[in-house]
Chain A
Amino acid sequence: MKYLHLVWAALFRRKTRTFLTLVSIIAAFLLFGLLDAVRASFEQAGQSANGAQRLQVGAKLSFIQALPSSLEAQIAQVPGVKDVTFANWFGGAYQDPHNQVFSFAVAPNYLDLYPEISVSGAEKKAFLATRSGALVGERLAQKFHWKVGDRIPMQSTIFPDREGNKNWTFDIVGILHSTDKKSGGFFDQMFLLNWKYFDDTTPYNQGQVGWYVTRVTDVKRTDAVAKAIDALSANSDHETRSQTEQAATANWLKQLADIGLIVSSIMGAVFFTLLLLAGNTMMQAVRERTSELAVMKTIGFSDVSMLAMVLAESVLLLLLGGVVGLGLATLLVPAIGAGSGGMLNLPTVGASSWALGAGLMVLFGVIVGAVPAASAMRLNIVDALRR
């Protein structure tokens, strides 16, 4: 530690070179931070304590197939089921059919199963009391400049009303806030309407239910409960498939893209380049200081301390750049989320990213410094001074 000022001085001996190398390292770790946030957002989706308690019960045939509403009472009777609610996919779009909104027609008790969605008591009451009422997520409201009291038109890309008209009208009665920003960013984008209004208005639904959501009393027994629920409809024409919310989301995202593979291949390319680049800098730095190092050895610095100082220099270089890069990523990620108008929902660069990043910085620092440090250690004083 007492040599820190020496290491520091050596690092900034050539300011331009160190600065240029630092920018490259910053770029590499900025990218690492951003990509790791994306990977983490895929991994964490649906993984919450509340999500683990909930089972999604959908048609086994496919997720677009509806289920009879008679199942509700049967599911409620299954031992281990605390609550059951249901929803339908509404397929809403605002202004343009391609401007799709995550919209669900939900049962009155839907929000009771989602404690991580907060909505004021008065607004909840208004939703239940207003036939054409709608609750909208915070970010969705921001995106379209909606506020409570607005009466808005919404197209359903799936369900026309009895006259064949696809334009529905809703009164916004409340705003949904997600209390769990990490895994529940999606709730800020939701549009909820009353299932009764939906079912009464469109002739195409006829009392059917898109999927059921149940909450179990004991998280350890979810598998057994899922099996019991699926057994209710076995061999009928509406067999169900129950999954924890967590498993359902993970399955969905896995089909969307193999994010892990993409991220690791990009990072592989980035870090390989980085190693070469920083390695080159360290080689140059040690090569041009050969005579200085010889002098230091002459006045009594041991071989091991020479090795340690060069290694420390390269680790410090990587740490400086890496911390700034990851810091930038930490600042940028929320900005990107806001800038995309809620399209991208990235969690902030978390402790795990930082820990992994710090580990990589030290590791690369050691790899990069190894060869120059070894040559500094093995330096022959007489030869080096004569040069």
Chain B
Amino acid sequence: MKSRFLFPHKWMVPGIVLFLTGIAVHFINQSTTDPAGIFQKIHPFFPGIDMQVLADDVEYLSLVIGLLLIAFSKEKIEDEQIVKLRTDSLQWAIYVNYGIFIICTIFINGMDYLGVVAYNVLTPLLFFIIRFRWKIYQLNRAVVKEEVVS
């Protein structure tokens, strides 16, 4: 059982950097009343571009690309067990995501629901990363314990 379609291990670092950039841009967007005000109003190279739209694009794209790279970079050692963890975690993440989404659909209405739908783009990746990392942490701890005992 081989893993396919994965990025090299090193790409996790640019992934984390992009993710942090995305979060930073997100907070800038949220905290200023004129979200693009902190940047120049007019793009230096392409005068026709609306800076608000550009800021939104940068936020979305860096968040999504960052999370994708973090989620789907190879581990240092890709063995059978890691592949199994990956499959399990991906399915688990999708189940949890749709479970929460259905609950939100039932209980959240109106404009607030738009926020739910927007966050829903990122949440499967987030759940996957959290569960996958957690399982790998548990695995490593078990290995260390065995070594100490023996």
A, B bound? no
Residues of B within 8 A of A (CB): none
